[in-house]
Chain A
Amino acid sequence: QQPVQSPQAVILREGEDAVINCSSSKALYSVHWYRQKHGEAPVFLMILLKGGEQKGHEKISASFNEKKQQSSLYLTASQLSYSGTYFCGTESTGGGADGLTFGKGTHLIIQP
C-alpha cells in the first residue's frame, strides 16, 4: 500500500523551514527520502532504518517513528536549490528484498 505524504505542496520564502510527513498503514523496515527536480530522475537523500533514529545531511534531516509507522523530513533555512518534489519510499522487509513503494510526493517551491 502506498504511503501517504503531507502536505501535497508547500511554498516557502528562502530561509524558511519546512516539514514533510510520510505515513504508512504497514509495519516498516525502512523509509527512504528522494528529491526529484522537473524533468530529472529522483535523487536519494537519506535512508532511515527501524529503531527511531534521526539522520541529518547539512540542513536536511529526518526522523522515523517505527511504532507510528511515520517519518518526517525537515528542511531548515531552505535554499532555492531545495525546490523540487520530495518522495518518501517505504520498505517492509530489509536487505533489498522488497522494492520501495513511493508516496505521491510533496511539491516544494522556494521563492527568493
Chain B
Amino acid sequence: DAGVIQSPRHEVTEMGQEVTLRCKPISGHNSLFWYRQTMMRGLELLIYFNNNVPIDDSGMPEDRFSAKMPNASFSTLKIQPSEPRDSAVYFCASSDGTAWGYTFGSGTRLTVV
C-alpha cells in the first residue's frame, strides 16, 4: 500500500484565496483525521470521520474551514478565505481502529501571505 497520500505537499497562497487540501486514506481504513501542526499549538485535531461520516468537528477553528469525505478513498479540507494565521502543516491520518495506530500522510505545508 502507498500509505496515506496528501496533496499538494506545499501550498503558497495570498490572503483571501481559497485553499483545498486533499487526502487519500489507506484502503480499508474506516477512520480519517485532519490535524494541524504549528510550533505554538502542536498537533491539533480539526475534524474526524468514521465510515465517511463527520463525527466531531469541534476542532475546526472557524466557519472558514470545512471538510468533506464524499467516499471512502477521498477527503478534502477547504479554507475560504485563507488568512496568514492559517499557515501551518496540515496532516491527514487514517486508522482501522485496531492496535496499529494512525498512519499519517506526509502533510501539506500551507503558507498564506
Residues of A within 8 A of B (CB): 2, 32, 34, 40-47, 49, 87, 89, 95-97, 99-105
Q: A100 and B45 in contact (CB under 8 A), knowing A34-B101, A42-B104, A44-B100? A: yes
B104 to chain A: which residues have CB within 8 Å?
41-43
A32 to chain B: which residues have CB within 8 Å?
101-102
Q: A42 and B100 in contact (CB under 8 A), knowing A96-B30, A96-B95? A: no
State the majority secondary structure of interface residues on B. strand
Residues of B within 8 A of A (CB): 30-31, 33, 35, 42-43, 45, 48, 50, 55-56, 59, 91, 95-97, 99-107
Contact between A97 and B50, CB atoms less than 8 A apart: yes
Q: How far does the alpha carbon of A40 sit from the alpha carbon of B37 in the complex, in Å?
A: 12
Contact between B45 and A41, CB atoms less than 8 A apart: no
Per a CB cutoff under 8 Å, which of A47, A102, A105 touches B101? A47
